[in-house]
């Protein structure tokens, strides 16, 4: 088993290798003046099981192309098996044809990986397991998923949120808060998010909860603009929650997200290192290593 971190995940790839007691061989990488990526392997991968570690945010298109280039090169250099360990998988949210004519980008990304020689794909907190079940039969590539929510919840439990209420901003993510509540205790509930498919705008149905005087954590897979999380935090604070943490697996934090969360009343903002950010304090390296051992 050979760990080859890509340019987007050098540190995380090295941490995964340490957990596996293996050596990491980061690829050489630079950008050509026109913005294209140069990639070169530093190790002979012939006959090896190669684990490429490369997240795909920020700058998803570039990082995805780098991953495809790495995969095809590993295959071309004679790797026996290519495993793409992609902590955050770009385009996973575009997994249904919501409006006629829309691209099923998630499906396209799986095709591209498969055509580039990827045998197995490992992703943390995939946006929708249900969509994966629909799309998987169209592909040979084996997709494996794992959730970082229990390790995030454990961190929170050990950092002042033991017994806190777990809330999901969306009924579709009920599994997340059930998992969190198993670790922190304190129970769980969800609000309901409604999205206008044409404009992308969302609204939230905030229901009455028994959170007065309690601590609460809002869990989501992704924080992007922070709008979803901010609405949920405001809903909890309006109902008397004393401390509210905003926790997610993938910290995309686009344009002003952090300010939006703070303005809404977030007392703590927490994420994993699937995507680098100032709040990515919970590492998924151990989780990835454990799962990779079993592939």
Residues forming the active site: 193
Output the smallest distance, CB 244 to ligand R5P, in A: 16
Least distance CB 164 / ligand R5P (angstroms):
20
CB atoms within 10 A of CB 234: 17
CB atoms closer than 10 angstroms to residue 154: 14
| Residue 28 bridge partners (DSSP) | 40
- Binders in 117-156 for ligand R5P, by CB under 6 A: none
The CA distance from 109 to 88, in Å, is: 13
CB of 167 vs ligand R5P, minimal distance in Å? 12
Question: Quick check: 272 binds ligand R5P (CB under 6 A)?
Answer: no
Cβ nearer to ligand R5P, comparing 155 with 219: 219
Among residues 156 and 232, whose Cβ is nearest to ligand R5P? 232
d(CA 251, CA 275): 6
Q: How far apart are CA 290 and CA 150, in angstroms?
A: 14
Beta bridge partners, 251, equal: 223
Which CB atom, from 45 or from 271, has the smaller least distance to ligand R5P? 271
Residue closer to ligand R5P (CB basis): 37 or 225: 225
- Please list every residue from 199 through 258 that binds ligand R5P, using CB under 6 A: 220-229
Alpha carbon distance 195, 203 (integer Å): 7
Q: CB nearer to ligand R5P: give 27 or 218.
A: 218
The C-alpha atoms of residue 120 and residue 89 are separated, in whole angstroms, by 13
Single out the residue of 216, 121, 130 nearest to residue 167, CA to CA. Answer: 216
Least distance to ligand R5P, CB of residue 19, Å: 28
Question: Among residue numbers 152 through 181, which ones bind ligand R5P (CB under 6 A)?
Answer: 170
C-alpha distances in Å from residue 292, one per residue of 46, 63, 82, 245, 272: 20, 21, 12, 31, 18
CB count within 10 Å of CB 12 equals: 27
Q: How far is the CB of 108 from ligand R5P (least distance, A)?
A: 19
**166 by DSSP, 3-state: which?**
strand
**Can you give the binding site for ligand R5P, defined by CB under 6 A?**
170, 220-229
């Amino acid at each position: 088993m050979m760990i080859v971190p890509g340019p987007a995940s050098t540190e995380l790839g090295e941490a995964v290798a340490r957990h596996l007691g293996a050596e990491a061989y980061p690829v050489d990488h630079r950008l050509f003046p026109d913005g294209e990526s140069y990639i070169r392997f530093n190790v002979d991968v012939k006959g090896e099981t190669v684990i490429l570690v490369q997240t795909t945010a920020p700058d998803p298109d570039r990082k995805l192309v780098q991953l495809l280039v790495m995969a095809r090169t590993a295959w071309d250099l004679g790797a026996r098996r290519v495993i793409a360990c992609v902590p955050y998988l770009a385009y996973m949210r575009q997994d249904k044809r919501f409006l006629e004519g829309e691209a099923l980008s998630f499906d396209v990304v799986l095709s591209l990986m498969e055509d580039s020689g990827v045998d197995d794909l490992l992703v943390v907190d995939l946006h929708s397991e249900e969509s994966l079940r629909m799309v998987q039969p169209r592909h040979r590539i084996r997709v494996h998923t794992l959730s970082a929510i229990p390790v995030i919840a454990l961190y929170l439990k050990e950092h002042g949120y033991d017994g806190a209420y777990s809330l999901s901003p969306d009924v579709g993510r009920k599994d997340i808060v059930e998992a969190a509540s198993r670790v922190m205790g304190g129970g769980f509930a969800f609000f309901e998010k409604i999205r206008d498919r044409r404009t992308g705008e969302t609204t939230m149905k905030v229901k009455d909860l028994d959170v007065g005087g309690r601590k609460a954590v809002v869990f989501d897979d992704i924080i992007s603009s922070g709008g979803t999380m901010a609405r949920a935090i405001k809903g909890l604070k309006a109902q008397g929650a004393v401390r509210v943490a905003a926790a997610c697996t993938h910290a995309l934090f686009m344009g002003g997200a952090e300010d939006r969360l703070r303005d809404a009343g977030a007392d703590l903002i927490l994420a994993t290192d699937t995507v680098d950010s100032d709040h990515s304090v919970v590492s998924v390296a151990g989780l990835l290593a454990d799962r990779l051992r079993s592939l």
